């Protein structure tokens, strides 16, 4: 949050927004409890201090949580220089890179794969001590599904290999605050198909093409199939995705950060 003793702050997402929402929904003593929390946290904040955040989507939540007037979007830097050269013979491969957890809703990826049997789907991600039940559910949903592949805790080299082979990047139905994996996939030339919400949509994919956002498993499958059946559009969108991703380079990050610093 924009602390009084800080010259500027960078926030990933305002945790206070959960209490603002709970306050609006609660009643009686519970409503008073949440109101006191919100009041106390806001008392520590200084709405006149510059506050940076990671996307225009998060920007709206920051304003709602703290009432800050000086909020600036400074996108996180992405190592696009490593990814822009990737390419080669891309097949009917759909890649998903995500942490393997319930919150990310990765269990929906096999459902999309079931609806697009002509493509190979790869779900690649890191695991934690809480990933076991999710992996078991993924395997249950992928039973008898030949075109779904799960790879966990793979080295960076393997991710880059898949990014050079895949044509489409499919993000799970989860609203990312920014979406590093989405930005990296775009830089690598994959056409991103994402949930129509979150910073990954507003600040990355919607700038590539408005038709790449979905709200259901069925819609995601239709978009993927349409892209795979239109090689010319796939190539054009791949080039556009790379151009959009260049906006998240280290140089652009420095430029934007300097712009905000001048406001101090």
The reply to whether 84 and 174 lie within a common domain is: yes
The reply to whether 7 and 24 lie within a common domain is: yes
Q: What b/e readout covers 143-177, taking b as 16+ CB neighbours within 10 angstroms?
A: eeeebbbbeeeeeeeebeebbbbbbbbbbbbbebb
The reply to whether 25 and 135 lie within a common domain is: no
The reply to whether 154 and 137 lie within a common domain is: yes
The reply to whether 88 and 20 lie within a common domain is: no
The reply to whether 44 and 122 lie within a common domain is: no
pTM for the full predicted model: 0.90
Instruction: Collapse the DSSP code of 78 into the 3-class scheme (helix H, G, I; strand E, B; otherwise coil) and give the result.
Output: coil
- Residue 29: pLDDT band with limits 50, 70, 90: confident
Answer whether 68's CB lies under 8 Å from 45's CB: yes
The per-residue pLDDT for range 182-238, each reduced to its tens digit, is 999 999 999 999 999 999 999 999 999 999 999 999 999 999 999 999 999 999 999
The reply to whether 101 and 86 lie within a common domain is: yes
User: What's the confidence (pLDDT) of residue 57?
Assistant: 94
- Residue 46: pLDDT band with limits 50, 70, 90: low
Using CA atoms, how far apart are residues 80 and 177, in angstroms rounded to an integer?
Answer: 19
For residue 95, what is the domain's CATH number?
3.40.50.2000
């Amino acid at each position: 949050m924009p602390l009084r003793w800080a010259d500027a702050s960078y926030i990933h997402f305002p945790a206070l927004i959960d209490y603002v929402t709970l306050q609006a929904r609660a009643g009686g003593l519970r409503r008073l409890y949440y109101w006191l929390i919100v009041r106390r946290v806001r008392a520590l904040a200084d709405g006149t201090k510059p506050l940076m955040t990671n996307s225009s989507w998060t920007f709206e939540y920051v304003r709602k949580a703290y009432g800050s007037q000086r909020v600036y979007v400074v996108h996180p830097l992405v190592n696009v220089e490593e990814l822009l050269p990737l390419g080669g013979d891309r097949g009917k491969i759909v890649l998903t890179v995500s942490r393997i957890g319930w919150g990310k809703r990765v269990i929906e990826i096999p459902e999309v794969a079931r609806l697009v049997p002509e493509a190979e789907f790869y779900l690649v991600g890191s695991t934690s001590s809480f990933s076991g039940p999710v992996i078991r559910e993924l395997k249950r949903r992928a039973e008898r599904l030949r075109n779904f592949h799960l790879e966990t805790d793979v080295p960076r080299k393997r991710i880059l290999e898949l990014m050079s082979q895949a044509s489409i990047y499919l993000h799970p139905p989860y609203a990312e605050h920014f979406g590093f994996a989405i930005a990296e996939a775009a830089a690598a030339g994959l056409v991103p198909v994402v949930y129509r919400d979150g910073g990954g949509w507003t600040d990355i994919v919607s700038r590539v093409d408005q038709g790449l956002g979905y709200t259901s498993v069925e819609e995601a499958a239709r978009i993927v199939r349409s892209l795979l059946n239109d090689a010319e559009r796939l190539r054009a969108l791949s080039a556009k995705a790379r151009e959009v991703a260049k906006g998240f380079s280290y140089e652009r990050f420095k430029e934007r950060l300097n712009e905000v610093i001048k406001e101090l």
